[in-house]
Chain A
Amino acid sequence: MTYPPNADPQRERAPDRPGVPVTVPAQRGGVRSVAAERLRAAATTEPGRLQVIGAVLALLVVAFGAVTALEVSGRASAADDVVTRSQPLSADAADVYRSLADADTMAASGFLAGAEEPRDVHEQYETDIKEASRLLVKAAASTDTSSPSGKEITTLNELLPQYTGLVERARANNRQGLPLGGAYLRYANQKMTNELLPAAERLYAAETARLSADSADARRWPFLALGVGVVALAALVWTQRRTYRRTNRVFNHGLLAATAAAAVVLLWLAVGHTVARAELHGAMVHGQESLDVLNKARINSLKARANENLTLVARGAVLTADGTQDRYETDYGTGMKALDAQLRSAGKLAGDDSPGSEPVARAVTGVAEWQERHRAARSTDDQGDYDGALKQIIGPEDSTGESFARVDEALRQALAHEQGEFTTAARSGRGALGGLPAGAAVLAVLGAVAAIAGINRRLSEYR
């Protein structure tokens, strides 16, 4: 602490040192030429050079600290966004999507059961609609209305009451025993399938894209900080080599401390970021990709279930465009095929991770059972035994409804597991960057002070 106070006076005194020609400023040169003269003087004498070197070293180290703090806080806030904002938003969008698909499935199931809907099915429908509205309000709060996501949220908010209105009309007509109820229900399903679900899907895609962008931001290498760090370290090493050559002294404590500080920051930066990167990458690959596939699988299973129910609601009255096939049966087949493919890729993504792959395997078994029972129910219906088919579709036991519930539960568990995986990995990625900005700043200031101290020590030898 003896040296620093001298630092400034020294620099002041430098130009006055003997041998430095103190020229009277030229008439036109003014202050600028005085400064130039001083610099030239500084560059030509050893103390002068030392002062410049000290200043440059301090600056480099401080700059390193500042750039590190700045870049890493950018990464850390992106990582924080991933954990606290964009992933939850993406998960919420997936929930909106799922709730809507589930509501449609429940509406069809309840309808099939007759004039009096089973209480639990009706409650599930109500819960789904409430959940979707709640999440839409929540999403709207954190979304700019003019953004693509904002527009989808507006669309969904407009369509949802239309949809529930149609379902209520379907119920009212069904209660009176009018086939018009079935037509209303099919119209509600058409609104859901052609307008609401695509909007929800776009919202989910937009939120997931935002998540990917945030995650990529967090994972971008802090090249500037690393570059400045390397330069600062190189400068420190070069200075010490120079000192060693001129004085034959091996250690200059100040410079050594500065080097240590810079090295620690650089190492911390490199390791911390590498770990954060790896964790965030893992979160995306193992967590988010699985979540994405599983979300889509779950929605396809819901759509397939709704179509399976509607096959019975429509009672063969709605055909495909070419008039040869039942439209809902065809859509069911398409949905099941997609579900199958998605479960296969979910299985691959889960790999050997048994808590992850076990529910997926259960879902696969459930789907196989579902398809088998569906075929049986279909042939019952084709035989003209509508009541028998109804039992095989919505009955409490050995029905496709039971298989569907099994698949849905398995997918719910798989999703919960993957969500956990994601959050854990993303949190530890964010944690790897924790304290780095502050640490870098403190260490850089200490390093700069130490560098100046080290140089002053040398300078004092010229006094």
Chain B
Amino acid sequence: MRGTNLRAARGRLRGWGGVTGMAVACAVTAAFTLLPLAHGGGSLGGQDTGRAVTSAVPATAEACTDPEASLPASSADGPTIQKIRERGKLIAGVDQNSFRWGYRDPETRTLEGFDIDLVRALAKDILGDADAVIFRAIPTNQRIAALEHDRVDVVVRTMTINCGRLEQVSFSTAYFQAGQQVLAAKESDITGYDRSLAGKRVCSAEGSTAYEALKKESFGAVFEDEHEDTDQDPDLLTVPNQLDCLVRLQLGEVDAVVTDNALAAGQAAQDPAVELKGDKPFTTEYYGVAAKLGADDLVARVNHVLEDYRRGGADSPWMRSYREWLEAGLPGIEGPPQPKYRSN
């Protein structure tokens, strides 16, 4: 209950901010007097500082045209960093079901993957100890709520940066570039997201970007179940989770899968008989580290860590982690995406 009230309050603030956006951006005085008041009544309590407020203005005010642009990197301490320091542990919301990204090995019971490595790098930088992390496995639908309710400091969980989410959370610079791609058996005559899909049964996750893409252009592929979105939906071609597509593919119930290539890499790693088809993904999306809206000191710090993480060419921590977890299923990546920063 409390969470929805807060969100509503913030939404109201933002709507108001949108209308008078330019005015607020220009009139620094107004920003200094009005916003702290509004935030004070919101979720951030007394943590706000002038710095946080001023830099929060552009994020809320302008129309979202470049969602990947984040705050400039900075290693300066702020109230959020302070809190983490006092606690002595970074609390990270991660996936435990995404092979090669964030996955709990049933044998060792520990979490591992590309996302997990990044979390450890954050802990190492902020707290000086890569193991000073409390991992909280959070389901997909809890990613934003976990941040809003302060259950986690950051979410590192193959989370795509987009405008809709920017209204609820803050994102770091992009740490991975992904995109939709076709996955099929190595033997298959399917060559990618093209005419070779005609007449084939193609699997995608319900409500996913892949499904939307197929809806727009399916190249004659069969990709919708009978009784789609009803109780009789047999969940054969559109499935609850992308991994379910690999199950259908292995059972011969579908001929190809359209999914995020980053996740597809995890699928290919579990089945040597399948591979990504086509040269590159047919969409572009970026993964970012999410933090609570307004935790700008933390976002700037994460960006700072990412700078170091990317640095070093083929021997950068990023590339080392890539080679360990992702290269097998997702070969050919030569480096991380270039960060974009807000210009103001």
Q: Do A and B come from one complex?
A: yes
Docked complex: A183-208 residues within 8 A CB-CB of B: 183-184, 186-187, 190, 194
Q: Is the CB of A187 within 8 A of B247?
A: yes
The stretch from A120-128, A316-324, A438-446 touching chain B is A316-324
User: With A179-B99, A314-B97, A319-B240 in contact, do A384 and B247 touch (Cβ < 8 Å)?
Assistant: no
| Chain B residues closer than 8 Å to A325, beta-carbon distance | 141
Distance to closest chain A CB from B286 (angstroms): 22
B227 interface residue (CB < 8 Å to A): no
Q: Is the CB of B207 within 8 A of A323?
A: yes
Q: Is the CB of B106 within 8 A of A115?
A: yes
Q: Is the CB of A180 within 8 A of B270?
A: yes
Docked complex: B179-199 residues within 8 A CB-CB of A: none
Q: Is the CB of B106 within 8 A of A183?
A: no
| Chain B residues closer than 8 Å to A326, beta-carbon distance | 139, 141
| Chain B residues closer than 8 Å to A178, beta-carbon distance | 99, 270
- Complex CA gap A383/B134 in Å reads 10
Docked complex: A157-187 residues within 8 A CB-CB of B: 169, 173-174, 177-184, 186-187
| Chain A residues closer than 8 Å to B243, beta-carbon distance | 179-180, 182-183, 317
- Contact for A184 among B139, B206, B240, B247, CB less than 8 A: B247
A395 interface residue (CB < 8 Å to B): no
Count residues of chain A with CB under 8 A from any CB of chain B: 36
| Chain A residues closer than 8 Å to B247, beta-carbon distance | 180, 183-184, 187
- Complex CA gap A319/B139 in Å reads 9
B116 interface residue (CB < 8 Å to A): no
A355 interface residue (CB < 8 Å to B): no
A16 interface residue (CB < 8 Å to B): no
Q: Is the CB of B97 within 8 A of A317?
A: yes
A134 interface residue (CB < 8 Å to B): no
| Chain A residues closer than 8 Å to B103, beta-carbon distance | 179
Interface centre among B98, B134, B137 (most CB of A within 10 A): B137
- Contact for B140 among A182, A316, A385, A386, CB less than 8 A: A316
Distance to closest chain B CB from A375 (angstroms): 17
B297 interface residue (CB < 8 Å to A): no
List the interface of chain B (C-beta within 8 A of A).
91, 93, 95-99, 103-107, 109, 134-142, 151-152, 206-207, 229, 234-235, 240-241, 243-244, 246-247, 250, 266-267, 270-271
List 10 tightest A-B contacts by C-beta distance, closest first. Answer: A316-B139, A384-B136, A318-B240, A315-B97, A183-B243, A317-B241, A178-B270, A180-B270, A317-B97, A183-B247
Interchain residue pairs with CB less than 8 A apart (22): A114-B109, A169-B250, A179-B99, A180-B99, A180-B246, A183-B247, A315-B95, A316-B97, A317-B97, A317-B140, A318-B241, A319-B139, A319-B240, A321-B229, A324-B141, A326-B139, A382-B138, A382-B142, A384-B91, A384-B93, A384-B135, A384-B136
Further 8 A-B residue pairs, CB within 8 A, beyond A187-B244, A315-B97, A316-B97: A115-B106, A179-B98, A179-B243, A180-B246, A316-B138, A316-B139, A317-B243, A382-B142
List the interface of chain A (C-beta within 8 A of B).
114-115, 169, 173-174, 177-184, 186-187, 190, 194, 314-319, 321, 323-327, 381-387
